[in-house]
Structure formats: structure tokens, C-alpha cells
Amino acid sequence: PLGVILGRTEMLNEFLSMAPVPEASARAQVEHIRQSARRLTAMVDDLIADAMADALDISVRADAVEIGILVGEVAESNRGPALGKEQVIEVSAEPGLCVRGDVERIREAVDNLVSNAVKYSPIGGRILVSATQSGREALIRVADQGPGLSPEDKDRLFGRFQRLSAKPTGGESSTGLGLSIAKRIVELHKGRIFVEGAGATGGAVFAIALPLINEPDPA
């Protein structure tokens, strides 16, 4: 379909250079381009669906993970992109919060929230990342200064291939897959992922809650 689109576009360009423009022929080329674009879109959707099925086929380890350390590492790995947008990432983490799970998978889920905060917060914004104990759970919060979430966003937030109504503030791209994968990871750890609402400075607060264990495994 892409080859057809390119070829028909060249033909349309030639028609537009004629005087007078052959309107019927030009309209026919536009229709060919439209049909080919639809076929190409369907093909891409199928490929993404296959990739998503693979992405959600996730297995997890069962090690002790200290959340405070992990949160600090995720924040540090996002400081480069944040610095490029003159943003500040602040971290507050209680020590000794341990959960049972796969450190790399949990890292992936938390990184999704932090990288999204960088992506959607304004130039010069502030991002707050915290890890605290809430009952028998470790609660990870990521608060940004982005535009917040519309009612439509909240309804489809963790669905597959869903893009938010807000646009990244630095021209970054979005696949619409990250939050659904993060949700799958958190659920495999018997946890919860949710939005608490607006933060103290606007934006949104995303949270992950994971069951606590008593203490880390011995080294």
C-alpha cells in the first residue's frame, strides 16, 4: 500500500501542475490514496496487536525488591531527559520498603510513570516521586505539572493503544502502550495502579501500590 500511495501522490502532483487541473483524474487519485492508506493502517494495527500480545506475555521473578532504592534509580535515569527540558525531579523515599517481585519489571512500570511525567510536564516543571508505606502496601507516587486528565482520558487511561488528549511538551512520541503494559506488570505483582487526581501544583498524580514483605532477602 505504501508504494501505491507514493505512486499516486506523484501522479496527483503532476495533475496539479496542469492548467486547467483535470479535476476528475485528481479526485480519482485521491480516492486511490485514501483506500491504500486505510489498508496500510489496518496492516499496522495488526502488527501492533501482535507486538502487544507479545509485550503482555510477561513472566516475573519473585525476589525481594527495595522500593526506595529502585525509585531513586528510576528518577536518576530520567534526569537527563528532564534536564533537557529544564525540569527538576525530586525524590522522597522511605527506607526499608520491600516487596516481592521482579526488580526489572517493577522498574519498567515505575519508569513508565516517571518518563510520562517528564514527557507531559511543561518546560521548567517540577516532578515529585515518592515512596511511602500505606498500611501493608508500598505506595509509589509520581506527581507532574502537566495539563491533567480529561474525563475521556480517565475512562481509557490503561487501555491498549490509547493516547492521552494532552501532547508531549518537547515533541516526544508516544505509542499508547506504556500504561497498559505497566498495569499488566503491577497486576502480576498483586498490586494496583491508579490515578489519585490533581497534585498540589496541578497536573496528575499516578500511583502504584504493591504488597509489602517484612524484610529483604539476605545477601
CA dihedral sign, ordered 61, 51, 196, 80 = positive
- d(Cα 173, Cα 53) in Å, to the nearest integer? 21
C-beta of residue 108 within 8 angstroms of C-beta of residue 182: yes
* Tens digit of each residue's pLDDT, the chain (219 residues): 566 677 778 888 888 888 787 888 888 888 888 888 877 877 776 666 666 556 556 667 889 999 999 999 999 999 988 998 999 999 999 999 999 999 999 999 999 999 999 999 999 999 999 999 999 999 999 999 888 887 777 777 776 656 666 778 887 766 666 888 899 899 999 999 999 876 555 688 999 999 999 755 554
